[in-house]
Amino acid sequence: MTEAYIYDAARTPRGKGRKDGALHEVTSVALSARLLNAVKERNGLEGHAVEDVIWGNVTQVMEQGGCLARSAVLLSDLDESIPGLAINRFCASGMEAVNLAANQVKGGAGSAYIAGGVEMMGRVAMGSDGAAIAVDPSLAMKTYFVPQGISADIIATEYGFSREDADALAVESQRRAAEAWADNRFAKSIVPVLDQNGVTILDHDEYMRPGTSMEDLGKLKASFKEMGEVMPGFDKVAMLKYPHLSAINHIHHAGNSSGIVDGAAAVLIGNKEFGEAHGLKPRARIRATAKIGTDPTIMLTGPVPVTEKILADSGMKIGDIDLFEVNEAFASVVLRFMQAFDVDSSKVNVNGGSIAMGHPLGATGAIIIGTLLDELERRDLSTGLATLCIASGMGAATIIERV
């Protein structure tokens, strides 16, 4: 089978995802086109050089609807002969775009793709597309649906993580992200966002709070306690599914959960012949990809079984992985991953994660693949694994290996 290589990985800085955020006036299609153009320019590509653009996006309504991938191609400097495919696997949409592109290349369906995703959470509100699992009683009751924040608190309760554990992880995420920015570790991937006059709007992750302390986080109110215990009483739903739990320990709040932000990311994937034809040197090969379905109520445990699956499928062990990127949707997700595999925190999210920098839903999967690759190169390491939990109970993973 043909190998699929990563030739480039780029992302925009993440904006605050609010009306006062730097990117609020930038549309999803404009931000996406900005990245497509950056990949084209950075790699000296002709406009027709890739087979397709596969673009992840979660809330596919309003300006993010109508096959945003194709719209982005038409706004960009790519040729109109490039089609565009918009996909949605919730939080793993950007990763699934990359994995799908890689497997297309491996199967011989085109020599190169640009894959990634976007989410402008400050402009298109999370959940505004509706979801049968949340609003259709026939499905919600069957699956014992609870919101993700309740699911994160169920993980904490089930696996014994305290508020202090979660807050400590959040403080460390902030510290690592600030250190990474100070050390210029994201420079290879960052594409500043410009306005129509070429003036820089944003050139750094805007959401970070580098001075965050345990004392600061200790003052925050648990975000999901009321919806769990009072109305609409989701704790009772959870305990119908898990009767061995006598109560849900609500430990998550705004400071140890991922931030609502705007952002986009893109990865250039191609075969060996594509690189040779365009004078490009591959940076890594995509060694393996995987996805899995999991319990839809606890919902966010997917990184554990999908990592078990991808390692088994590729004949690898956890010790073969040098660095891990585990999306920080909520602190308990990462704590559970490290607990399950007995992985030292010094190998996980070494430059911080979504708690510090934010989680632009459709883009994050591609962001963490690029971050992982940059850090493998910086440390002169070989192999990395990126993984995300996914709404409604799924997991996705990608293993990359430097070449």
CA dist., res. 53 & res. 112, Å (int): 9
DSSP letter for 269, please: E
Fill in the DSSP letter of residue 351: T
91 tagged catalytic: yes
Quote the radius of gyration of the chain (alpha carbons, Å).
Answer: 20
Tracing tokens 């966002």 back to the chain, one arrives at: 193
Q: Of residues 250, 252, 253, 389, which has the active-site annotation?
A: 389
Q: How crowded is the C-beta side of 2, counted as CA atoms within 13 Å?
A: 20
Question: From residue 41, how far is each of 37, 190, 366 by CA, in Å?
Answer: 6, 14, 19
Q: How far apart are CA 77 and CA 72, in angstroms?
A: 10
Specify burial of residue 138 (Cβ count, 10 A radius: 0-12, 13-18, 19+): exposed
d(CA 336, CA 155): 8
Which residues have C-beta within 8 Å of that of residue 159, sequence separation ≥ 6? Answer: 332, 335, 336, 339
Which of 250, 252, 253, 359 is an active site residue?
359
252 is catalytic: no
Task: List the catalytic residue out of 91, 250, 252, 253.
Answer: 91
Known catalytic residue at 389: yes
Q: What 3-state DSSP class applies to 270?
A: strand
Phi and psi torsions of 248, nearest 5°:
-100, 130
Catalytic residue list = 91, 359, 389
